[in-house]
Amino acid sequence: MHRKLALFGGVYSNYLALKEVIKDAQRRKVDEIYCLGDLGAFGPNPNKIFPLLVKNNIKVVQGNYDNSIGNDLEDCQCGYTDPRDNYFAKLSYDYTYNNTSEEFKAWMNELPPEWRLDLGDYSVLLCHGSPRKINEFLWETTTPTHFLEKLCRDYDADIICATHTGIHWSRKLTKNKYFINVGVIGRPENDGNTFVGYTLLEMDNDQINIQYIPVEYNYKQLAEEMRKEKLPEEFIETILTGWWTTCLEVLPGKERIKGKY
């Protein structure tokens, strides 16, 4: 048996990256494409995401952003605790909320909090933050292996896939279990590169293969459109340079030191 899935999160209204990711995944002949949530934030013109998801039959898990927009909440529930982080999160949320159509909002409201599927004998759980909390940050350097193994036991899954943090990683656990943070396609990973990426999860004769696929897109065009929408220069700088400029205080030290700010 052979199956191939494309997985990503954090679209952040980056429709240009979304188009390229879909194209790349289709070229690799994936069986299905899953988005693990957070459709809006940072980027321009959120409504451009909606038709791309629907037309390409992408299955979407609800992220905290989608839950907030879909339920007309006051803020994005991103889980920031720092005042500067919250200032930028608010700018981004208000812009996205005010520019999202009622139809898209209603659709977001209906999104499921998780997807479950089988890859041969492997039971796969797709969620946004963690299986227990929509906005839990699972960073590589703060998430113990035994903790992930407990999540697999508690939620009856062999492979757990999540996103939310913005930086991809994966770990093989004992007893042939896996955890995958599939990454985001809305903004680069704070490493000075402008590309984004998604995860290919492949099962071939009971062998699990996890591969991160970097994807180039027209980031200069996105920056132009962000300027036209008067989005903060700080967000544009991230798109143009690959370095995060905001929402930094939630990063653990080991992830933070790899960045510029």
Partner 1 sequence: MKSNYPEIYLDALDNLWFQVAGTICNLSCKHCFNNSGPLNHAFEFMSLQQCKPYIDEAVEMGVKEFYFTGGEPFANKELLQILEYTLQFGPATVLTNGMLINEKTAQTLNKLSSNSIYTLELRISMDGYTEEMNDNIRGKGVFKKTMNGLKLLYENGFLPIVTITKTWKGFEDDKILNEFIDTLKENGYKRPRLKILPPLKIGREVLRNKGYENYEYVNEEMLQDFDVSQLICSNSRLVTDKGVYVCPILLNSKDANLGNTLKEASKGYELKHQACYTCYLYGAICSNFSSGGGDA
Among 83, 102, 207, 230, binds partner 1 (CB under 8 A): 83
Smaller CB separation from partner 1, 20 or 255: 255
Give the chain's length: 261
Q: Please, which residues bridge with residue 60 across strands? A: 35
Stretch that binds partner 1, among 4-12, 68-76, 192-200, 210-218 (CB under 8 A): 68-76
| Angle ∠(167,247,211) on CA atoms, nearest 5 | 10
Query: What sign does the dihedral 244-193-167-116 (CA atoms) show?
Result: positive
Structure tokens at 2: 């052979």
Rule CB under 8 A: say whether 116 interacts with partner 1: no
| H or E segment to which residue 8 belongs | strand 2-8
Return the number of the residue (78 or 124) whose C-beta is nearest partner 1. 78
Q: Is 252 near partner 1 (CB under 8 A)?
A: yes
User: Which amino acid type is present at position 2?
Assistant: H
Interaction of residue 133 with partner 1, rule CB under 8 A: yes
**What is d(CA 249, CA 33) in angstroms, rounded to the nearest whole number?**
31
**Residue indicated by tokens 């396609």:** 185
Taking CB under 8 A as the rule, does residue 97 contact partner 1? no
Supply the minimum distance, in Å, between the C-beta of residue 33 and partner 1. Answer: 24
Torsion of CA 168, 15, 61, 136, to 10 degrees: 40
Q: Is 256 in the site for partner 1 (CB under 8 A)?
A: yes
Q: Which of 135, 172, 130 is nearest to 154 (CA)?
A: 130
Q: Which is nearer to partner 1, 65 or 219 (CB)?
A: 65
The verdict on 211 binding partner 1 (CB under 8 A) reads no
144 lies in the binding site for partner 1 (CB under 8 A): yes
Q: Is 79 in the site for partner 1 (CB under 8 A)?
A: yes
| Interactions with partner 1, residue window 145-164 (CB under 8 A) | 146-147, 150-151
> Which residue from 141, 174, 209, 221 is in contact with partner 1, where contact means CB under 8 A?
141
- Taking the C-alpha atoms of residue 117 and residue 217, their distance in angstroms, rounded to an integer, is 30
Binding residue for partner 1, selected from 14, 77, 100, 199, defined by CB under 8 A: 77
Q: Is 64 in the site for partner 1 (CB under 8 A)?
A: yes
Helix (H, G, I), strand (E, B) or coil at 33: strand
Amino acid type, 138:
L
Binding site for partner 1 (CB under 8 A): 64, 67-68, 71, 75, 77-83, 129, 132-137, 139-144, 146-147, 150-151, 249-250, 252-257, 261
